[in-house]
Amino acid sequence: MSYATLDLSTDARGVARLVLNRPDKHNALSAQMLADLTEAADRLAADDAVRVVVLTGAGKSFCAGGDLAWMQEQMAADPDTRAREAGKLAHMLQKLNTLPKPLIGAVQGNAFGGGVGMASVCDIAIGADHLKMGLTETRLGIIPATIGPYVIARMGEGRARRVFMNGRLFGAVDAVGLGLLVRAVPADALEDAVEAEVEPYLSCAPGAVAAAKKLARDLGPRIDEGTIAMTIAALKARWETEEAAEGIGAFFDRRKAVWMPQDQST
């Protein structure tokens, strides 16, 4: 099945492929993509024929984070509208995080910001060894708020604090060390590596897999409506700061924000 921003198909074994399909925009998360992902997650959860879901992206990038036009709309919006839009991202991630099917990420290209959040909700994520990842929000004066619960749950707080606040980019090997990826492989070996993760599930009872995944989630860090509301409130407050206005404004003006090292003329 095709959505405006996704492709969704299921093979005879019950292996679904959910493909982020905005390659010209590096699969950035737009309002339409958030709606499509939410609907697709509901469809996959309800489809008894689906045994495993593989999440990947079309083109060179897995997911570049927030769509630029969407970000500009948030800058112009009132605080309550911003909060509602943040809630759409948070609840979409929660649906994928609690999907009662194994979710395997085939991270074929770069993942930034929300793209790291997308990788974090996968039960297993394997990446191409050339990719770069990064939580770049603080460069813009904002914070990785609504993706934060999933990133922290995936990495653990100690490892997350190495990259959660500094905006630095890191490669696939570091992503494995941080716990975001289980391993990194050459791009031409990614499909085989993903298939090796898919195959064992096809010998397991689907209901038992769903119950085991729910138990693992219940035993892990709590991510509930209270957690989601707290992250939305934190992001809403951050959007109101002078730093956010400066950082995002500088990004769209193609200049350095005032806190960045400035070029010194001689």
| Residue 137 designated active-site | yes
Under the banding of pLDDT at 50, 70 and 90, the label for residue 266 is very low
Residue 265: band (very low, low, confident or very high) from pLDDT cuts 50, 70, 90: low
Q: What band does 2 get if pLDDT is binned at 50, 70 and 90?
A: confident
pLDDT tens track for 60-78: 999 999 888 887 787 788 8
* Set 137, 157, 225, 240: catalytic member: 137
In CATH, what number does 6-188+200-206 get? 3.90.226.10
Beta bridge partners of 169: 134
213-225 pLDDT, tens per residue?
999 999 999 999 9
Interval 94-103 mean pLDDT: 98
- In our burial notation (b when 16+ CB lie closer than 10 A, e otherwise), range 150-163 reads bbbbbbeeebbeeb
Compute the average pLDDT of residues 138-151: 96
Its pTM stands at 0.95
Contact 105, 124 (CB under 8 A): yes
Token reading at 33: 């993509």
- Total residues found in the chain within this entry: 266
For the cut 60, the answer to whether the pLDDT of residue 106 exceeds it is: yes
Range 239-252 average pLDDT? 92
